[in-house]
A and B are shown apart, each in its own frame.
Chain A
Amino acid sequence: MATPINPLERLDEQAVAGAADPPFAAEGADLPPGLGPYKIAWRRLRHNYVALGFGGLFLLILAMCLLAPVYAADIAHIGPNDESQAFNALGPTGIPIGPTWHAHFFLGADTNGRDVAVRLLYGGRTSLFVGAVATLITMVVATVLGTIAGYARGAIDGLLSRFFELLWAYPALLLGIALGVSLQLGGLNVGLFTLHGSSLMVPALVIGVVYIPYVAKPIRAQVLTLREREFVDAARQQGLGPVRIMVGEILPNLSSTIIVFIPLILANAILLEAGLSYLGAGVQPPNPSWGTMISDGIRLIPAAIHLTIVPGVMLVLAVLGINVFGDGLRDALDPRAQVKVRFAKVRRSKAAPAAAAEDTGR
């Protein structure tokens, strides 16, 4: 698939495409020839210890959350929704105890006498699950719609682009609230597909829909330039139909854009879930999630500040891990970074690594 092209020529196209482009022209002078684009990206990423470290931090948090049932059953001996009056969970004045640093109530208790550490891990499962499902929905729908809009052009593109514009016009939080409140009250019932209002899939679906235009618009723009390229012409000459061209020729060229967007959307989806849950339009109690835990905790400031700090810090660490890793991934996949360093060296012998930042986290 990798057609050899002049790297400088591609720079213009990337400016049009907006997001990061495939690293096909990325062969720097310092790298051996004949390496595939992803090998080159991996070589760059491998030396970015900060990005790898933060990626590892996220994986560690993920692993801890996945092991939540083990922790609950074997160490804390208490479930996430079990209310315990034992171990003096509530102090003499009825204020929940802070961290004990023991197996029981390691990070303290909340007002209902529930173990904060256990709820933190279970809450992480909820938050990360909602974030992951939402990201999956966004990426799949946005890639499909964006590719169709860019490839078909004309009336179909007009219709889909107006749809993206419409979703994009709502502030992300507001659209999330509107959909969240409405679905929470009525549930969703379309044919065979039934969703109960308090289901975890409701916030996942809502967040997934909210972020569609942020991904679909750049993908459409990139497909618009890709479809004019020679290899697409060649495929058309061979008699391939539009579906096979989109799947077989265009989609592989979108892969690095898609990869770059995944951590970005995941981080924003987790943040939006927390925001919606904080307002009561996301995950419904008694299900713990980091957002609902912070929401419960803030009501008890200043008496029991640990109820806010514990889930808050965990949320920030997880999102920061994703963001820093995503940043490194973008640098590794972005051919412009390489070109820029070389230019800068020639000019004033000073390295200027550049990141193409197109943040959706508004």
Chain B
Amino acid sequence: MIRFVLRRLLSCIALLLAISILTFLIFEAMPNSNPALRLAGRTATQVQIDAVEREWGFNKPIYVQYYRTMEKIFTGSVISYTQGINVESQIVSDLPPTLSLAIGAGIIWFFFGVVFGVLAAVRAGRWLDRALTVLSLIGVSTPVFFLGAMLSFYLGFKAGLFPNGDYVNITTNPVQWLYHMILPWCALSAVFIGVYSRVLRSTILDMVNDDFVRTARAKGLTERQVMVRHILRNSLIPIVSLWGLDFASVIGGGAILTESVFNLQGVGEYAAQSIQLLDVPPVLVITMFGAFFVVLLGAVVDIVHAWLDPRVRLSA
């Protein structure tokens, strides 16, 4: 187990290094273009561009540029030239809405994904299964920003049941916080519920003919016991891993669309605004931290997975 953890952490560090290099290359070393010009923003004057060039070391060799970039990112001194603010302190102050969205939606999509997946598998081939399959296919086919816009227009604006976007801090008013988060949670969960219920349905159906299930039945267990204690418990392992990765990718940037539709003022909306302004430094930092977060949480998920299931330890 310790060997597995060490190896997993080592490959994780290598991957983080590779991500930092690739992100640097994407933003600062695209062939035949001037990175200082792009970092400084569209409205920059020549003086500002020269200053950026000196500050980031673009007149120096490429490894110095890379080092300067990483130094700036990890000391938290990246400045957005278009908006004139410190990128990292902005990200930190934008975290609460993003975390609220991701955690709430994560719980919702896991719960409903599992419930719908089990129902569809138990009723495989009958009308409930078909209805759930159609629903989940509609879920995975609908872009989250379209679903979000429809929800907030019809349920928020027209029916007046829910507030029309915006974020209320949980410490100022927990009830209003919950009230404001319901629609964003639903919109973001829809696609994942579709994916999870389909994956779980097929995992369960792959398992119903396995030997251990036959043994459980032969022991005289009821169908419910077989399903909950034996089949579901085994088929949840891949779902939990998937959930860890998806949860990480939602925090690490997957919620950009949802946040911007519901005006949640989180990290994602900051990213969306920066893209619209073509303000590169925030996009650079958010991309890098987003991927970092996914990799780190992925390593945690793998370690938990190996702890739950010894077969993984041996095969990896």
| B145 touching A171, Cβ below 8 Å | no
- Give CA–CA (A267, B141) in the complex, Å: 8
Q: Does A25 contact B (CB under 8 A)?
A: no
Contact A162 B198 (CB under 8 A): no
Is B23 a contact of A320 with CB atoms below 8 Å?
no
Q: Which residues of B contact A350 (CB under 8 A)?
A: 125
Min Cβ gap A199→B in Å is 15
B19 within 8 A of A: yes
Q: Which residues 276-296 in A have Cβ within 8 Å of B in the complex? A: 278-281, 291, 294
Q: B195, A361: Cβ atoms under 8 Å?
A: yes
**Contact yes or no, A173 B257, CB < 8 A:** yes
Chain A residue with Cβ nearest B274? A181
Q: Which residues from chain B contact A174 at a C-beta distance below 8 Å?
A: 249, 252-254, 256, 286-287, 290-291
Say whether B138 faces chain A, with CB atoms less than 8 Å apart.
Answer: yes
Contacts of A327 in B (CB 8 A): 133, 137
Complex Cα gap A190–B29 (Å): 12
Q: Are A319 and B141 in contact (CB under 8 A)?
A: yes
Contact A166 to B157, CB < 8 A, known contacts A178-B26, A275-B143, A308-B146: no
Q: Within B140-184, which residues are at the interface with A (CB < 8 Å)?
A: 140-146, 149-150, 152-153, 157-158
Is there a chain A Cβ closer than 8 Å to B50's Cβ?
no
- Chain B min CB distance to A339 (Å): 9
Q: How far is the CB of B69 from chain A (nearest CB, A)?
A: 14
A169 near B298: Cβ-Cβ < 8 Å: yes
The answer to whether the Cβ of A302 comes within 8 Å of any Cβ in the partner chain is yes
Asked if residues B141 and A357 are in contact (CB atoms below 8 Å), the reply is no
Q: Which of A309, A343, A359 has the most CB of B within 10 A?
A: A359
The CA-CA distance from A298 to B152 in the complex, in Å, is 11
Contact A315–B146 (Cβ < 8 Å): yes
User: Contact at A165–B291, with CB atoms within 8 Å?
Assistant: no
- Tell whether, in the assembled complex, residue A182 and residue B26 are in contact, meaning their CB atoms are under 8 Å apart: yes
Query: Could you say which residues of chain A place their CB within 8 Å of the CB of B38?
Result: 182, 185-186
Q: Which residues of chain A are near B73, meaning CB under 8 Å?
A: none
- Enumerate chain A residues within 8 angstroms of B142, measured Cβ to Cβ: 316, 319
Query: Which listed residue, A169, A187, A343, A361, touches B19 by the CB 8 Å rule?
Result: A169
CA distance A166 to B17 in the complex (A): 10
Interface contact A178-B294, CB-CB below 8 Å: no
Among listed B75-83, B203-211, B225-233, interface-contacting one? B203-211
How many residues belonging to B are interface residues under a CB distance threshold of 8 Å? 68
**Interface membership of B295, Cβ < 8 A:** yes
Instruction: Give A318's nearest chain B residue, CB to CB.
Output: B141
Report Cα–Cα, A336/B158, bound state, in Å.
48
In the complex where A179-B26, A301-B157, A316-B141 touch, is A166 in contact with B124 (Cβ < 8 A)?
no
Contact (Cβ within 8 A) B294 A359 = no
Cβ B30 vs Cβ A183 within 8 A: yes
Q: B111 within 8 Å of A by Cβ?
A: no
B124 and A354 contacting across the interface, CB-CB below 8 Å: yes
For A186, the chain B residues whose CB sits under 8 A away are 30, 32-34, 38
Inter-subunit contact A185/B278 (CB<8 Å)? yes
Q: How far is the CA of A188 from the CA of B22 in the complex (A)?
A: 16
- With a cutoff of 8 Å between Cβ atoms, the chain B residues found around residue A357 in the complex are 198-199, 201-202
Q: How many A-B residue pairs lie within 8 Å, measured between CB atoms?
A: 192
Find chain A residues with CB under 8 A from B286 CB. Answer: 174
Bound form: Cα–Cα A175–B141 in Å: 21
CA distance A250 to B268 in the complex (A): 43
Q: Is A67 an interface residue (CB 8 A)?
A: no
B301 CB, nearest partner CB in chain A, Å: 13
Q: Is the CB of B276 within 8 A of A316?
A: no
Residues of B within 8 A of A190 (CB): 31
A200 at the interface (CB under 8 A from B): no
* With known contacts A181-B280, A320-B137, A352-B125, A188–B31 Cβ distance under 8 A: yes
Cβ-defined contact, B294 with A188, below 8 A: no
User: Cβ of A142 < 8 Å from any Cβ of B?
Assistant: no
| B191 contacts chain A at the CB level, 8 A cutoff | yes
Cα–Cα, bound, A297→B142 (Å)? 16
Q: Does A312 contact B146, Cβ atoms closer than 8 Å?
A: yes
Residue of B27, B149, B192, B201 near A182 (CB, 8 A) is B27
Closest A residue by C-beta to B248: A171
What are the residues of chain B within 8 A of A354 when measuring CB–CB?
A: 124, 202, 205-206
Q: Which of A170, A320, A344 has the most CB of B within 10 A?
A: A170
The contact string, 1 if C-beta is below 8 Å from chain A, for chain B 279-297, is 0100110110011001100
Q: Tell me the smallest distance from the CB of A336 to a CB of chain B, in Å.
A: 8
- B295's nearest neighbour on chain A, judged by CB, is A169
B272 at the interface (CB under 8 A from A): yes
Residues of chain A with a CB closer than 8 A to B275's CB? 177, 181, 279-281
- Known A-B contacts A189-B32, A354-B205; A171 and B278 likewise in contact (beta carbons under 8 Å): no
5 new A-B contacts at CB < 8 Å, known A340-B205, A359-B198: A171-B252, A177-B271, A279-B272, A298-B145, A343-B209
23 contacts between A and B (CB under 8 A): A15-B206, A165-B15, A166-B18, A169-B295, A170-B290, A170-B294, A174-B249, A178-B283, A181-B278, A183-B30, A185-B278, A190-B31, A271-B141, A271-B143, A274-B145, A278-B143, A297-B149, A298-B145, A308-B153, A320-B141, A323-B137, A324-B137, A354-B206
Report, nearest first, the 4 A-B pairs whose CB atoms are least far apart. Answer: A186-B33, A174-B253, A171-B249, A189-B32
Which residues does B use to contact A, with CB under 8 Å? Answer: 14-15, 18-19, 22-23, 26-27, 30-34, 38, 124-125, 133, 137-138, 140-146, 149-150, 152-153, 157-158, 191-192, 195, 198-199, 201-202, 205-206, 208-209, 245-246, 249, 252-254, 256-257, 260-261, 271-272, 275-276, 278, 280, 283-284, 286-287, 290-291, 294-295, 298
